Amino acid sequence: MQHHDIRMRGFASRHDVDEALALLRQRLTALPSEVIGVEVGLDRVLAEDVVAAVDVPPFERSAVDGYGVRARDTFGASDYNPIPLLLTGEIFPGRALDLSLEAQQAVRIMTGAPLPIGADAVVMAEYAEEDGAHVHILQAISPFKNVGRVGEDIRQGDVVLSRGRKLRPQDLGVLASIQVAHLPVYRRPTVALIITGNELVEVGQPLTGCQIVDSNSLTLAGMCQRLGAIPVRKGLVRDDYQRIKAAIQRATEDVVIITGGTSVGAEDYAPLIVQELGELLVHGVSMRPSSPVGFGFIKQQPIFLIPGNPVSALVAFDAFVGPTLQLLQGLQPSYPYARVRGRLRRKIASAIGRVDFVRVRCTAEGIEPLRVTGASILSSTTRADGFVIVGKNSEGLDAGQEVEVYVF
């Protein structure tokens, strides 16, 4: 394969963001599934539909605290015409009472307790008064009033949760209710983080000369975890062709991220290495920040070339790595941020053909743009409440224009 070396020559052209994403999606399929216990299922993605094997509830039960009765025995009851019924016992949840309710009889019953044979309704305690061996019913009720019917919540054979669903806390409760103790989910992708740069040192190490602390590995690891992936930090690698190549070859994870050395500088070796070991599909995208971003494949392993500037690294991850991690888990790509709408306080300038990711603050007066440039100013992402996307067909957004903010 011919290797294209564009170091110190710049990008002759850049890919469109949507076209780059389309190329990526064409090559990705969900990872194989694995079976896990329901107790560790939070935020995992179902690999198969879950079909109920039982009814919920499995028996008719009281929905209130009150008195189990035959509904027809209450017809005509009111505050002015209380109907006395003979009390024959008391039923609590989890304790079945071996009795059959006869005409003009009632049973004291608590919420969740099974209805006895013969009963078909429950009078709430507020509409009854006990008097010795009897209870006086003060309200007429219809059959199955205040009763949870068999299968009222879930019917046997129902598809309770569908493949591709990211499980929420309440989903785990529903699964438990239909006695699902184990479930098939897509495997969580592992992500190799290869951080390159002669100038970098680990956090906590003393700085000398022109050194700076590596922040990208921590930021990117957190972003991987938020999307359900498992980051594997590979340490810092010097700007050396053979060392970077060896680090990539040793990475057996599902996805590889390289930061630094990915643009067109003299020591930007990563694009050449990916071309040597596999194929570089995209290098250079019409977006700001993070235009030098690229990605390719080594066999079936996606590998991302992310700029070392911290803000660029964040934007590149959201734009391309995030969708990849979601697709590998059987999810449709989407930004993992809530959205709010507001009006811009100041104009945002852009250019046709380029997508801009603009950091903003949400204030009482409106949406305040922070900056478009400054890809090395990581603190701007902590001062920002989120970002606004300026589409490729726009020359910018005017002051007073309503925009959608992706909230960090």
Q: Check residues 114 and 374 and name the one with the higher pLDDT.
A: 114
Confidence (pLDDT) at 8: 40
Retrieve residue 207's tokens: 């700085």
SS3 of 109, please?
strand
Confidence (pLDDT) at 203: 87
Which of 303, 328, 353 finishes a domain? 328
CA atoms within 13 A on the CB side of 158: 14
Which residues 6+ apart lie within 8 Å of 77 measured at CB?
83, 137, 138, 139, 140
Long-range contacts, stretch 295-298, CB < 8 angstroms, 24+ apart: 295/20, 295/24, 295/320, 297/27, 298/248, 298/256, 298/274
- In the predicted model, what is the mean pLDDT of residues 107-124? 95
Question: Do 351 and 226 share a structural domain?
Answer: no
Q: Check residues 244 and 4 and name the one with the higher pLDDT.
A: 244
Confidence (pLDDT) at 264: 62
> What share of the chain has pLDDT > 70, as a percent?
93
CATH code for position 300: 3.40.980.10
Q: How many domains does the chain have?
A: 4
Question: Do 243 and 224 share a structural domain?
Answer: yes
Which residues 6+ apart lie within 8 Å of 64 measured at CB?
111, 122, 124, 125, 146
Question: Do 324 and 195 share a structural domain?
Answer: yes
* Per-residue pLDDT reduced to its tens digit, 213-253: 899 999 999 999 999 999 999 999 998 999 999 999 999 99
Confidence (pLDDT) at 207: 85
My answer on whether omega of the bond before 323 falls inside 30° of 0, hence cis, is no
CATH code for position 390: 2.40.340.10
pLDDT band at residue 268, thresholds of 50, 70 and 90? confident
Confidence (pLDDT) at 288: 92
Question: Do 198 and 161 share a structural domain?
Answer: no
> What is the domain extent for residue 244?
17-32+188-328
